[in-house]
Amino acid sequence: MTAPFAWIRPEPWGIHIVPADIWVDPSRPVPRALVTHGHADHARGGHGATFATPATLAIMKLRYATSDGAVPVEYGESIALGGGVSATFLPAGHVLGSAQILLEHAGERVIITGDYKRALDPTCAPFEVTPCDVFITEATFGLPVFTHPPIAEEIGKLLRARSDNPDACVLVGAYALGKAQRVIAELRAAGHTNTIWLHGAMEAMCHLYEEHGIPLGDLRLVSDAGKDDMRGSIVVAPPSALNDRWSRRLPDPVTAMASGWMRVRARARQRGVELPLVISDHADWNELTRTIGEVNPQETWITHGREEALLRWCQLGQRRARALALVGYEDEDD
């Protein structure tokens, strides 16, 4: 008899689905790849065929100039991969187009989450809890210290900083895919209808989100404005621009950063951040443990993050678990 789950094999550069000879989020080019979402530590060019949601494929085309071999898969759609393996893409709640991938073979069900969060996000479809036998979960914030506050609280801090500094602007560092658009959408949901100014590196991705039905309101480029135009405004830029020469064109900016890592004060100090905003697109400790409990798999495989603490939590709860050693997964400016 074939050992249970022998058909899915973690390798250092990705997860190999052996009967179908296809890889999930491989860190090197392969003939066939399933891609969970568009961030660079999961998606890359050079694959012969790439299976992903239409939004993820659009993001990959924009960011990595990949379009050859693109195979769109809608949420809830099941496709045959060969070798008796099928795949179904399910919402992951991480960024636009992000997906969990449910793999089925020989009566066994495996879910690979990619990156995910459980908090509602107006810019992407919410995570769907789906029972399975093996649950392969990220653990970016897999330590009990990481508990993300409600995003409304952090947006409130941002809006108060704006109103407290009417002759300045608030410069928010935010990852260009997902985080920037979420911050903008949450500002709109909080009633902020004023112009939001963008670093040029944000423009194309914000347009892509709007093309996929995510309204972001009045956005304009900093390069088209004078300092007086931006007083009392919010500016969104990549984290690398916070202390860059580019920021000198802004009116006395109050420096903020939207990231789950802002929970760690030392990281905020290292970045020179005056207003740390704990806003993450990854599940925090409570969401990770709650999700494992709700999915209730026979085994949990843990990857790219703080694996040891979540592994120990599973063991203390009499849950079978293992940590994977995958390469190429690095901390984003989340």
Q: Residue 5 carries which side chain, given as an amino acid letter?
A: F
Q: Is the dihedral of CA 199, 201, 204, 205 positive or negative?
A: negative
Global pTM reads 0.95
Enumerate residues 6+ apart whose C-beta is below 8 A from 261: 267, 331, 333, 334
Predicted local confidence at residue 227, as pLDDT = 95
* Tens-digit pLDDT profile for residues 285-313: 999 999 999 999 999 999 977 899 999 99
* Tens-digit pLDDT profile for residues 260-285: 999 998 989 988 899 999 999 999 99
Q: Contact 231/168 with Cβ under 8 angstroms?
A: yes
Phi, psi of 159 (to 5 degrees): -70, -35
Predicted local confidence at residue 330, as pLDDT = 53
Predicted local confidence at residue 66, as pLDDT = 82
Q: Which residues of the chain have pLDDT under 70?
A: 1-4, 326-333
Q: Residue 270 carries which side chain, given as an amino acid letter?
A: Q
Predicted local confidence at residue 1, as pLDDT = 39
